């Protein structure tokens, strides 16, 4: 049981480049989400999804796109990277529609540096 898997763990980009952070979970969770972690700012919600085909914006969505074509996967896309997107990104998932305790399960994080 792998839980929540994020790739890559580390990435360096140049300003203007695009990339996708991958997130997959094998727990059949309805809810999936992306956060960024910055010193002094805590964990800020970027985008979230409550099921395949459903996505919504969080607190800091600008510069990021997501899609949810399957229950298992929730990739985060940076279309044109900016230095302000240098951060550690976490994917997290949980059950949402009954039967769950609300516990969020986190990936190991992806450290992104934009030069």
Partner 1 sequence: AQRVTQPEKLLSVFKGAPVELKCNYSYSGSPELFWYVQYSRQRLQLLLRHISRESIKGFTADLNKGETSFHLKKPFAQEEDSAMYYCALLFTSGTYKYIFGTGTRLKVLA
Say which residue the tokens 């969505």 belong to. Answer: 61
Between 11 and 40, how does the x/- string for binding to partner 1 read (CB under 8 A)?
A: -------------------xx-x-x----x
Instruction: Say if residues 114 and 104 touch (Cβ distance below 8 Å).
Output: no
Give yes or no for residue 56 binding partner 1 (CB under 8 A).
yes
In the complex with partner 1, which residue's Cβ is closer, 33 or 85?
33
Q: Are 37 and 90 in contact (CB under 8 A)?
A: yes
Q: Long-range contact list for 40-44, CB < 8 A, 24+ apart?
A: 43/90
Among positions 74-93, residues that touch partner 1 (CB under 8 A) are 90, 92
Cis bond leading into 8, ω under 30°? yes
Interface residues with partner 1 (CB under 8 A) are 30-31, 33, 35, 40-45, 48, 50, 56, 58-59, 90, 92, 94, 96-97, 101-104, 106-109
């Amino acid at each position: 049981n792998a839980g929540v898997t994020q790739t890559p763990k580390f990435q360096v980009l140049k300003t203007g480049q695009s990339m996708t952070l991958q997130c997959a979970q094998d727990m059949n969770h309805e809810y999936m989400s992306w956060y960024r972690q910055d010193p002094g700012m805590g964990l800020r919600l970027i985008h979230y999804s409550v099921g395949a085909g459903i996505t919504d914006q969080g607190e800091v969505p600008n510069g990021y796109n997501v899609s949810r074509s399957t229950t298992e996967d929730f990739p985060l896309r940076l279309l044109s990277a900016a230095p302000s997107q240098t951060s550690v990104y976490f994917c997290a998932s949980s059950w949402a529609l009954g039967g769950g305790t609300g516990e969020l399960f986190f990936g190991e994080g992806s450290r992104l540096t934009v030069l």
